[in-house]
Amino acid sequence: METLFYLLAVSQILLGAYLVWQGLQWLGYVRRRLHTDPGFYAPRVAVLCPCKGIEPGLERNLISLTEFERQNYELFFVLTSDRDPARSIIDRVAKNSRVKTHVVIAGNPVNCGEKVNNLRVAVEQLPEEFEVLVFTDSDGRPGRFWLHRLVAPLGNPTIGATTTMRWFIPNRANFPTALLAAWNAPLVTMLGEQKRNFCWGGGTAIRRNIFEQSGVVEEWKNSVSDDYSLTHALERIGRPIVFLPECITLSYVETDFEGLLE
């Protein structure tokens, strides 16, 4: 019994040391990325943002998508229905936007998830002039240089996609909201310098030719997860996904116990 205790104790110590080592490796990667010049690659970009309903801070989030610096882009908001409550906010944002803004009505999905269908329809309607596709979510609030930093590394044609992750900021001083933010925090460390990164639907950039070569649209036709299908398609053709911690997206959240359990 005593031997078993020591074995368990040693295994826990070794596990703890390994986790500390992994954490230091991740922090080292973050520091290197923060000191990396993103480069000058600035192609024609289509930013696609599916929207559904009204959520806290929606208008400010959407406005942030119109304020990116140093990028040649157009913005595409995608709705399932023209009667979606978010439509009035989108129209107001589009009216005051300094970049060209479009609204795409995708219609009801068939054999796939609603968000997946929205993105698929929007991509299929894009003019050929757009060289890079950027996917984002309506609950994020990226900074002014987010788009440039996300897209510029794609100047390396061997990269399959660049991606980032969200960071929840409590928008209400209550326990459920704080708990939600704490639960989400470790997710960012699942991405790093390793080869097995995955695409996050709230912040991913991909060259259009790579998107088409990997057959993402076909994957989406029978999928409920946009980012999982995109990741799978890139893995199938052996293209790496690069994590960019400098592009981590703030998401202001508020919830209650009922929402926490959903």
CATH of region 42-260: 3.90.550.10
Of 36-40, 68-72, 143-147, 199-203, the least confident = 36-40
Of 36-45, 88-97, 185-194, 227-236, the least confident = 185-194
| pLDDT tens digits for range 70-101 | 779 999 999 999 999 999 999 999 999 999 99
Phi-psi region of 57 (alpha: psi -120 to 50; beta: other; left: phi over 0): left
Task: Pick 255 or 198 by higher pLDDT.
Answer: 198
| pLDDT tens digits for range 203-256 | 999 999 999 999 999 999 999 999 999 999 999 999 999 999 999 999 998 887
| pLDDT tens digits for range 150-181 | 999 999 999 999 999 999 988 877 888 888 88
Q: What is the pLDDT of residue 17?
A: 64
Q: What is the pLDDT of residue 15?
A: 57
Whole-model pTM? 0.90
| pLDDT tens digits for range 1-33 | 667 665 666 677 665 665 566 666 667 777 887
Share of the chain above pLDDT 90, in %: 66
> What letter represents residue 78's amino acid?
V
